[in-house]
Amino acid sequence: MLDGRSRVGGKQVFGILNIDKPAGVTSRDVVTRVVRQFRQATGQKIKVGHAGTLDPMASGVLILAVGKATRLIQYIQRRPKTYQATFRVDCTSESADLETELQPLAAPSRPQLADLQEVLPKFLGTILQVPPAYSAISIAGQRAYKLARRGIEVNLEPRQIVIHDLQVESYRYPELKMRIECGSGTYIRSLGRDIAKRLDSDAVMTDLVRTCIGTHHLEEALSFESLDFETLVAGLTDPLLVVDFMPKLALSLEERDRICTGRFIEWPAAFRQATQIAATDSQGRLVAILEPRGDQLKPVFNLGDGLFPQSG
């Protein structure tokens, strides 16, 4: 994430970008390209951050927040994610994917489709998952994957994750293709391995495509190869979509002025059950996220004069 501002036509550029990250490209590579395009066109720096890393071998939806919208990254990360994952269930690898050498199983169990269908419900809901040793989790200030690559044993504690849905899309031994809808923090390769181990086998993830984050879908994503300044500006979507799960409060001009200068407003009775509220202006554009403070509402952050650029 880089500091600074960028303006086009006197307005701050900000919003959400849905980009189709190709395999072989890092999430950081995508951010760097977007930053470079804005900098070359405007001569100014701009904040850009991604909401949820995709491993280099994975492809699909990568959500970038631009400008003040980077403050919304925490909300994007909470949205459910959908993946299409492919596994081989006749081999293993230290990384549980293709990063490390495949090792054939000595006596693979050859699970049947009926066996898979029977075991999948056990992985739905809130479960504990041990992250893979080849992950970016920090251990005593070092990334786990760096330790693992040096042959150092990595022991990670189980973490709570949420699996919303699991569907077998196709299965022809040894290849298993699944559709997975999950919450943040889920390691898909570990999930595939854990499912296989329940069937006395093992699994290596050979392909991963993220098809959706919240309301952002792969078929609507911008092609990485096509990214230039004009495409990026045209591709910015309304930040309000990121918080569509929050109740929306339309502000009066006076309330908008108060919020944009960091002051409080009255807490309407109709919103007394809400813990967070998306405040909009008269044209339905996101102005701020509000939280209760006593009998009033306080902006957690506000977008000030940086209105969504498509507003004219």
Q: Mind telling me the catalytic residues?
A: 55
CA distances 165 to 81, 189, 281, 290, Å, are 10, 16, 36, 32
Eight-class DSSP state of 252: P
Token pair 């009926």: residue: 114
d(Cα 26, Cα 58) in Å, to the nearest integer?
9
Phi (first) and psi of residue 84, to 5 degrees? -110, 120
Q: Is the dihedral of CA 10, 12, 17, 19 positive or negative?
A: positive
With helix as H, strand as E and coil as C, how does 183-212 read? Answer: CCCCCHHHHHHHHHHHCCCCCEEEEEEEEE
How remote is the C-alpha of 28 from its chain's centroid?
Answer: 14
CA distances 58 to 3, 85, 135, 152, Å, are 28, 9, 14, 25
